[in-house]
Structure 1
Amino acid sequence: MRNKLLTMLVALPMLAWSMTAAAANPAVGRWKTIDDKTGEVKSIVEIYSTTDGSLAGKVVEILKSDKGPNPVCSDCSGDRKNKPIKGMVILWGLKPDGDNEWAGGIILDPANGKTYKSKMELHPDGRKLDVSGCIAFICRAQTWVKE
């Protein structure tokens, strides 16, 4: 009984802190990714705050894939090679860069295994998020919608 009480005393402040951190950052949450070429909803990405204060995002659901129901990142390199895309961190290292803007991150396109410099900007309504990936001056952008 004493161990359970001690665990609760330790866990409650941590839970309250994580809820406050999520409420403080409007980009944190689940986002529908909208394909910029077809306009179709492809997946759900959950954006979260990391321990260093940056934002990261992982694929939590795949809604439409050309590679079947459980696609893997066959074109990825390193530890992501041939790993399931569901559960994969595809966005990391984004730091605040103004009001409702984040930059300096990396985004992975699991369709081709390539990584790009990334930035994000939240629309004033808080329901849409512009996410872009760039190589040099060539950029590709998608607008994600809050779930």
Structure 2
Amino acid sequence: MNTKIIVTTLLLLACPFIQAQVPDLVGTWKTIDDKTGYARAEVLISQQQNGTYLGKIVKVHGVPNQTAIDHCEKCKGSLKNAPLIGLAILTGFKQNPKNKNEFIEGHILDPLSGHSYQSKGHLNTRGNVLTLRGFIGTSLLGRAVSWIKTE
């Protein structure tokens, strides 16, 4: 009986020193095409000095039976025909102070359509799947895309 009390007391005393890992977007992620299920690209996400996150394409994957693209042909302005490698497709995301698994106030560029969307993201509890949802104004787009952490 005394052993149980001692062990319980030690565990309670140790609890303040045990920290849960805070989810983080930093790392390399595979973008998964929501229509085909194939990986389309690998994106390296880094945290900027102002605390926001930036994701740039580092590798493009071909999808069977589809023409591979290597430039953002449908992008507008200065991004028109920009090479996909090095292209920033995730910008401005910051961690929601009320929910550490949620990232808000970001933008996602879809190089296939050339459109940029307001977006928010949610990490699963393991921190290895990022689900992104895009918005136009206040309207939620009908689909979510998943990114899988590779490192």
TM-score range, shorter chain: 0.7 to 0.9
Alignment partner, residue 138 of structure 1: 140
Residue 36 of structure 1: SS of its match in structure 2?
Answer: coil
Greater helix proportion: 1
Equivalent residue runs for 1:1-147 within 5 Å: 26-64=24-62, 66-68=66-68, 71-97=70-96, 98-135=99-136, 136-139=138-141, 140-147=143-150
Contact in 1 for aligned 2:22/2:100 (Cα 8 Å): no
Q: Measure the CA separation in 1 of the matches of 2:23 and 2:78.
A: 30
C-alpha displacement of 1:138: 3.3
Residue 62 of structure 2: SS of its match in structure 1?
Answer: coil
Question: Root-mean-square deviation (CA), in Å?
Answer: 1.7
Contact in 1 for aligned 2:54/2:90 (Cα 8 Å): yes
C-alpha displacement of 1:75: 0.9
Q: Measure the CA separation in 2 of the matches of 1:54 and 1:64.
A: 30
Q: Measure the CA separation in 1 of the matches of 2:28 and 2:73.
A: 25
TM-score, normalization by structure 1: 0.78
1:28-51 alpha-carbon deviations (Å, 9 max, x no partner): 100011111111111101111012
2:146 alignment partner AA: T
Unaligned runs of 5+ in 2: 1-20
2:83 alignment partner AA: P
From the CA coordinates, give the structure whose radius of gyration is larger. Answer: 2
Unaligned runs of 5+ in 1: 1-22
Task: Figure out how many residues of one structure are paired with residues of the other and give that number.
Answer: 124
> Alpha carbons of 1:25 and 1:78: their partners in 2 closer, same or farther (altered >3 Å)?
farther
1:29 alignment partner AA: G
TM-score, normalization by structure 2: 0.76
Residue 99 of structure 1: SS of its match in structure 2?
Answer: strand
- Calculate percent identity across the aligned residue pairs: 39
Q: Measure the CA separation in 2 of the matches of 1:146 and 1:84.
A: 23
2:39 alignment partner AA: V
